[in-house]
Structures are given as C-alpha cells and as structure tokens.
Amino acid sequence: RTQLEFKERAELLETSKIAQKIFKISLEKKSNLCVAVDVDTADKLLDIAEKVAPHICILKTHIDAINGVTDSTINDLQLLAKQYNFLIMEDRKMADIGNTVKLQYKKLVDWADLVTVHSVSGGMMLKGIQEVINENTDHCRGVFIVAELSCNGNLISEQYIKETVKIAEEYKDIVAGLVCQSHDVISSPSLLQLTPGVNIKNTNDNLGQQYQSPSDIILTKGADIAVVGRGIYQDDNPAEAAKVYKESLWNTYLERVSNS
C-alpha cells in the first residue's frame, strides 16, 4: 500500500467515493496535511482556518471544545472549505450504540464531510451512520475509524486493531480509512492511513501525547495523511508553519512512492 501512488489508489475499484475525494484534493493541492484546529473560540477557529486553508487537504475540529460556535461560524468555515478546496472533519470519536451514534451523527451530517468513530461498540454503529449518509446524497461523506491511539498508556490491543480493520472492510463504502500509528495495520491500498502525533519541535506534551517528525510518520509509519495541531496553530506564524509542514510531508510522500 505505502509504495503505491495516491492516483493509482484512487482509481482502484474498491476505493470508496469519500477516499477518492481525499486522494483527489490531496493531489490537486499537493498536500497530505490535516490541521487540527484545537482552539477555544469560534473567532480563533476561523482565523487559523483562513491562515492554513491554502495548505491543507482536511481541517479537523473538536467543535464541542470551542466556545461561541454558531451557524454563521459553520457557514464561514464551509465557505472557506469551498474556496480553498479542503474537507472538514469533526473528530468526535463517536463510540456509543448504533442508535445513539445515529442520532448524534444526524447533527453533524449537514456540515462535516468526515467524522471519526471508535470501533469499541462494533459494526452496528457504522450501520447507523451509513443509514444517515444514504439519506443525504447531495454530496460525499464518510468516516475514519480509530484503530490505534498516539497517546501512551492507551488500552487498545492487537485483537481490537484486527477487529477494527474487519469493520472497516465491512463498511468500505463509507469508510475513508483508519486513524492509526503503524503501516502494518492497513493492507488494503483503498483505505487511507490518517496519523496524528506529528510535531517538528516537540517529542511529547505533559498529558501523554507522543510526537514524531513528518518524515518518521510518512516513511517509517506509513501515514498517508498527517494530523498536525499545536505544531501549527500555536506557532507565531501559523500560515508559514502550515506551509513548512505541508512541503515536508508532501516531499516525503513523493520520496516514498518513488522508492517503489
């Protein structure tokens, strides 16, 4: 998987529409950077979003952690996404029973192109989301399933990872890929590997996060898309930082596929 170019992977028959869309944007913008905008106010969200917009393929939010978000904030974010050609992902990491997840997802489906889910409650949760996606066919939507976490001390086991991959295969039509840390989790080239825990300056925080460099994450860990949060939005110049991360990540991706 890791040696194949995005273009070839997008053209595979089993690649979902939402994964195709991510590959396409990534190739158009020469960017495999997802920025996590974990700020605390709606104004800061829009400010950072505008600054990083030209350099990203996905903008990731934890909207429930941001104060003052209104319909107009979401509207402005969507306008930016359209203007600068990126997708919006709400990193809710949903984890409840199918019916509850379905109710929660109905509140996100209007504005989030992508959402994240934990696989802990099994496939029925994906079924709930699939039903909502199939009722909203105006544009393409999907999910990333968390198979591994970047923080130390997390409780995910080998067995859990294997079962998570099975669920991803079962709901392939709506799954863009997996959130994970190592390249051997995903064998299918039609699924994307989204990997958080990337920072050029730091190796950890004081709450368990573990960081790696852009080249580690792309070359050694096999990530297709890297998630960068504090490394960009806490920088004195987030626009420039986003450009630096984007170029470093994309060049490493090019190096990886040219080695094949």
Scan residues 76-135 and list those touching ligand UP6 (CB under 6 A): 91
Nearer to ligand UP6, 214 or 231 (CB): 231
Two structure tokens written together for 160: 């859990």
**Is residue 229 near ligand UP6 by the rule CB under 6 A?**
yes
Look at residues 168, 174, 163, 158 and name the one whose alpha carbon lies nearest to residue 188.
168
CB of 180 to ligand UP6, least distance (A): 8
Active site residue 236: no
CB of 173 to ligand UP6, least distance (A): 23
- Which residue in 51, 91, 221, 246 is the catalytic one? 91
The CA angle 207-210-211, to the nearest 5 degrees, is: 130
Residue 18 near residue 140 (C-beta atoms within 8 A): yes
Using CB under 6 A as the binding criterion, the count of chain residues that bind ligand UP6 stands at: 16
Segment interacting with ligand UP6 (CB under 6 A) among 67-75, 121-129, 228-236, 242-250? 228-236
CB of 259 to ligand UP6, least distance (A): 27
Active site residue 96: yes
**Is residue 149 near ligand UP6 by the rule CB under 6 A?**
yes
From residue 43 to residue 82, what is the string marking binding to ligand UP6 with x (rule CB under 6 A)? -------------------x--------------------
Residue 114 bridge partners (DSSP)? 89, 142
Segment interacting with ligand UP6 (CB under 6 A) among 98-106, 123-131, 221-229, 243-251? 221-229
Active site residue 91: yes
Is 209 annotated in a binding site? The answer is yes
Distance (Å, rounded) from C-alpha 107 to C-alpha 74? 12
Place of tokens 């529409």: 17
Nearer to ligand UP6, 27 or 244 (CB): 244
- Which residue in 44, 93, 127, 172 is the catalytic one? 93
Look at residues 168, 173, 103, 111 and name the one whose alpha carbon lies nearest to residue 132.
103
Q: By the criterion CB under 6 A, which residues form the site for ligand UP6?
A: 36, 38, 62, 91, 149-150, 179, 196-197, 199, 209, 227-231
